[in-house]
Amino acid sequence: MKLLIVEDSALMRRVLRENFADQDDLDLAFARDGEDALEKLESFEPDVITLDINMPKMDGLTCLAHIMEQRPCPVIMLSSLTDKGAVATFEALELGAVDFVAKPDGTVSVNLESVMGELKRKIRSAASGRSARTARPTRRARTPAPRPRSIAPAADTRRKATRTYVPDLLLIGSSTGGPGSLQTLLEGIPADFPAPILIAQHMPPKFTAAFAKRLNDTCNVEVVEVSETRPLHAGVVYLAAGGGDVVVRKKLNRLVAEPATSDPQFVWHPSVSRMVASALDHVPANRLMGVMLTGMGDDGSDEMAEIHKQGGSTIAESQETAAVFGMPGQLIEKDGASVVLPVHEIAAELCRWTSSLSSARRRQCS
């Protein structure tokens, strides 16, 4: 596998080279800045690129736009763990980056050991063959991209009999490649959707606040970060705060979402498994709906399969659109998906399931 690392700091390039020294199957090349990266894009022909955001001559976002135009391939952004870094990261994801890894110590971060495992996993997943589709059209904030209205079902699309009902809560799990899938899904949800929506997207601290704001600016539904206990209201999207978990509780006979300290028994955070399990503690499974989007591993697959087993309805994103087919693939493998759909068809399916919607609402979703 050919990996191109674009990093302006000589110290960072040395640290990264040392950390990849044990990867015998990697053909590794380095670029000093965006201009150098574009030259190596043609001469080296990388399978995967890691791209720093803050660079001289040509910054990472400008370089990414050229990559997606000249020779699209999976790009993973190396971002600083700051508010500014978070905003730039989501701009990169809209331009076509498949994912990001936050540097633990800022722009120049020699202490990379804590994130090297994550970076290596994401590079492998990006190269696995499903991420090359990620050159999405550039989108400007506050202007939702038009959704396809007549796309034929994918070969792996399948449907099982589902009942129609308005759930007490819709639960969504997502990881690698998830920000783009979540934006596509939520842009198709009407403002008066009849249930609250709770999301666990694997993300570090600081990034979820910027992501919630970005979604709130581009979607019809209100989107908020769960940084404190929040009562759950229909038509509002609640995004778990990064770096920790989110759990569902019942207080004064109503459902609330609470931030929770990361539980070490769960590998990924915010944990989809912990979110769904806590919802099952307080809501009958047949009063829940679940959606499993793109991501590595199997986080939440057992718990969402339990929703399906006990009479609730679930959707798995299909391999056609998933950047990484791990989490939805595991849900399907466990016979836990009522429906398998490409991401641009999921919102319409959710609207059809909640049959209490007026005909005008259904037209908005379809």
Domain match, 271 and 227 both:
yes
Predicted confidence (pLDDT) at residue 274 exceeds the cutoff of 60: yes
Residue 190 maps to a domain: yes
Q: What is the mean pLDDT of the chain?
A: 87
Number of domains into which the chain is organized: 2
Q: Distance (Å, rounded) from C-alpha 102 to C-alpha 2? A: 22
Specify the pLDDT at position 190: 95
Q: Distance (Å, rounded) from C-alpha 357 to C-alpha 171? A: 19
Picking from 43-52, 273-282, 355-364, which range would have the lowest pLDDT averaged per residue?
A: 355-364
Domain match, 291 and 240 both:
yes
Specify the pLDDT at position 115: 85
C-beta separation of 175 from 331 below 8 A: no
Active-site choice (131, 175, 301, 313): 175
Is residue 202 part of the annotated active site? The answer reads: yes
Specify the pLDDT at position 218: 94
Predicted confidence (pLDDT) at residue 94 exceeds the cutoff of 80: yes
Pairing of strands 158-159, 169-174: unpaired
Proportion of the chain above pLDDT 90, given as a percent:
67
- Residue span of the structural domain in which 19 resides: 2-134
Domain match, 58 and 114 both:
yes
Q: In 3-state terms, what secondary structure has residue 229?
A: coil
Q: Distance (Å, rounded) from C-alpha 171 to C-alpha 315? A: 10
Query: What region does 187 belong to: left with phi over 0, alpha with psi -120 to 50, or beta?
Result: alpha
Residue 16 tokens read as 């990264």
**Res. 177 pLDDT band, cuts 50 70 90:** confident
Residue 12 maps to a domain: yes
Report the pLDDT averaged over residues 52-80: 92
Specify the pLDDT at position 326: 92
* Alpha helices per DSSP H over the chain: 10-19, 34-43, 60-70, 83-95, 113-126, 178-186, 207-218, 272-282, 301-309, 326-333, 346-353, 359-365
Residue 163 CA to chain centroid, in angstroms? 28
Is residue 262 part of the annotated active site? The answer reads: no
Residue 328 maps to a domain: yes
Specify the pLDDT at position 84: 82
Predicted confidence (pLDDT) at residue 107 exceeds the cutoff of 90: no
Predicted confidence (pLDDT) at residue 108 exceeds the cutoff of 60: no
Query: How many Cβ atoms from other residues are within 10 Å of residue 246's Cβ?
Result: 25
- CATH number, domain of 241, equals 3.40.50.180
Report the pLDDT averaged over residues 29-36: 95
**Res. 113 pLDDT band, cuts 50 70 90:** confident
Active-site choice (8, 181, 202, 344): 202
Residue 314 maps to a domain: yes
Picking from 21-30, 76-85, 209-218, which range would have the lowest pLDDT averaged per residue?
A: 76-85
Specify the pLDDT at position 138: 37
Picking from 63-77, 91-105, 115-129, 145-159, which range would have the lowest pLDDT averaged per residue?
A: 145-159
Report the pLDDT averaged over residues 101-110: 68
Pairing of strands 222-226, 197-201: unpaired
Domain match, 164 and 128 both:
no
Report the pLDDT averaged over residues 227-249: 97
Residue 142 maps to a domain: no
Domain match, 239 and 333 both:
yes
Query: How many Cβ atoms from other residues are within 10 Å of residue 209's Cβ?
Result: 17
Domain match, 128 and 166 both:
no
Is residue 25 part of the annotated active site? The answer reads: no
More confident residue, 60 or 82: 60
5-25, pLDDT tens digit by residue? Answer: 999 989 889 989 999 998 899
Q: What is the DSSP letter of 344?
A: G
**Res. 358 pLDDT band, cuts 50 70 90:** very low
Predicted confidence (pLDDT) at residue 152 exceeds the cutoff of 70: no
Domain match, 130 and 164 both:
no
Residue 350 tokens read as 């959710």
Neighbouring residues of 80: CB distance < 8 A, sequence distance ≥ 6: 53, 54, 102, 103, 106, 107
CA angle 165, 169, 173 (to 5 degrees): 115
Domain match, 185 and 79 both:
no
Specify the pLDDT at position 364: 54
Domain match, 109 and 171 both:
no
- CATH number, domain of 67, equals 3.40.50.2300
Strand runs labelled E in 252-295: 254-260, 288-292
Q: Distance (Å, rounded) from C-alpha 3 to C-alpha 26? A: 7
Pairing of strands 27-31, 2-6: parallel
298-354, pLDDT tens digit by residue? Answer: 999 999 999 999 999 999 999 999 988 999 999 999 999 999 999 999 999 999 999
Last residue of a domain, one of 118, 134, 150: 134
Predicted confidence (pLDDT) at residue 231 exceeds the cutoff of 90: yes
